Structure 1
Amino acid sequence: MVKLKQNVWIKGTKDGLVFHLDDACAFSDLLDELQEKVHNSHQQILSGPIISVVLKFGRRYVTAEQEESVREILRHRGNLVVRKVESDVITREEALQDKLSAQMQIYSRTVRSGQVIRHNGDLLLLGDVNSGALVVCTGSVYVLGSLRGTVHAGAEGSGEAIIVAYDFIPSQVRIANVLFPDSLEAEQIKRMEFVYLEDNHLIKAPMSQLHRIRPNLGQFVI
């Protein structure tokens, strides 16, 4: 007797149930099998109080309508609550966002007091950041000039971001959610330094150490 391939696997965890949904079969076949298991063959394990559910679609791209059709089948049981939906496929919007985040913007002027510069990705500033100016980036910030204002790199939580400046005398610098604690005196200034995040602390180092501390930055050289 040939055993038919399953399109739906239901696995129990300490947090509830995980529904593994085959990403290669026809979507209509997936719905049919899900309907059968939820309302007939698997009633025993699906009965009882409220059960938290995670849906895993694998490499299948699922539209909002398709996701809703799966949710609707589970909703009819009354006690199955979808807590999370996981997919290994990203949407076009997410792909575009990743592409934009990987791009470096070049800004060739001084950022003056009162000005705010925001960028999604890395930013190369060919000029100074004056006191009272604010620069916010989701990636790293490279300042080919004096940094006297405020810079926030990794603004969406990236701990791999760095802040580089020719003259490093900022009002404030932040990477992710961590502030650099020290106010730097003029005699402490050294040419071409950068700040990076390690163990939830910001550390200042000379540019000669960049390749060792952040080797994944590639061949970008100031």
Structure 2
Amino acid sequence: MKKRQNVTIKGTKDGIVLHLDDSCSYQELKKELDEKLSANQRTQTERHLTPVKVDVGNRYLTDVQREEIKDLIRQKKNLDVDDIESNVVLKVDVEKLKAENEVVTVARIIRSGQVLEVPGDLLLIGDVNPGGTVIAGGNIFIMGTLKGIAHAGVFGNDQAVIAASSMQPAQLRIHDCINRAPDKAENNEKREMECAYIDDTHQIIVDRLQVLINLRPNLNRFEGGH
């Protein structure tokens, strides 16, 4: 009877993909992985680093086990671990992802000294007064006047936007970009129904709200519950 293979090595144009069986024991897997990589190493002539992607299927790996797999691969000559993929998602990760994609609606005025922070998108029905701050992991939509500080994409989302019925901010932040508002609006112009976003030069641009239709088509995910 042919022995079941727990480790399959497949070469691609981008490097090597290791498929690791998710039904055997972890110790069996490690032992066979070591043997297969050692045998494969003897047949390799390349001298440059080869990227390795690891697919562990439905197996859950602890952080310690992930590091053990990476170390085992890196010990082999000319192999560099690019990524370890698993179909298993922890409950805490699912809850975090859900929170970051959720729209939180708040109806209140953010006064001086107050800070409102949400993990996902923020829809604020009210004003942000001077000295007030709103922070979101995603986008910020303000149905009111923004005179304080707004920080969108706080966890690293540079595609986040800030929109307000009346845009008069003390400061705008998106991801790691900061745009300090001018001392006065030019010609005392009213800045209504505007949005802020990061452009191709990694600068915050304030423009008409309508530009978001083409710039951020993913905002349409709210349409029809998508």
| TM-score, structure 2 normalization | 0.74
1:218 partner SS? helix
In 2, Cα distance between equivalents of 1:36 and 1:78: 11
Amino acid at match of 2:58: R
Amino acid at match of 2:190: I
Matched, 1:34 2:33: yes
After alignment, is 176-185 or 112-121 more displaced?
A: 176-185
Q: CA deviation at 1:7?
A: 1.2
Aligned to 1:211: 213
Aligned to 2:148: 149
In 2, Cα distance between equivalents of 1:52 and 1:212: 40
Aligned to 2:198: 197
Amino acid at match of 2:212: L
Amino acid at match of 1:22: L
Amino acid at match of 1:26: C
Amino acid at match of 1:164: A
Match of 2:84 among 83, 86, 99: 86
Q: What stretches of structure 1 of length at least 5 have no aligned partner?
A: none
Over 3 Å counting, the alpha-carbon distance change for 1:164 and 1:30 in structure 2 is same
Aligned to 1:173: 172
Q: CA deviation at 1:23?
A: 4.1
Amino acid at match of 2:192: R
Tell me if structure 2 keeps the 8 A contact 1:122–1:139: yes
Matched, 1:110 2:117: no
Over 3 Å counting, the alpha-carbon distance change for 1:148 and 1:71 in structure 2 is closer
Aligned to 1:7: 7
In 2, Cα distance between equivalents of 1:18 and 1:145: 54
RMSD: 3.7
Q: CA deviation at 1:60?
A: 3.2
Aligned to 2:20: 22
Tell me if structure 1 keeps the 8 A contact 2:7–2:36: no
Aligned to 1:185: 185
Tell me if structure 1 keeps the 8 A contact 2:52–2:83: yes
Query: How is 1:51-90 mapped onto 2 (pairs within 5 angstroms)?
Result: 56-64=54-62, 66-67=65-66, 70=69, 86-89=84-87, 90=89
Q: CA deviation at 1:81?
A: 10
| TM-score, structure 1 normalization | 0.75
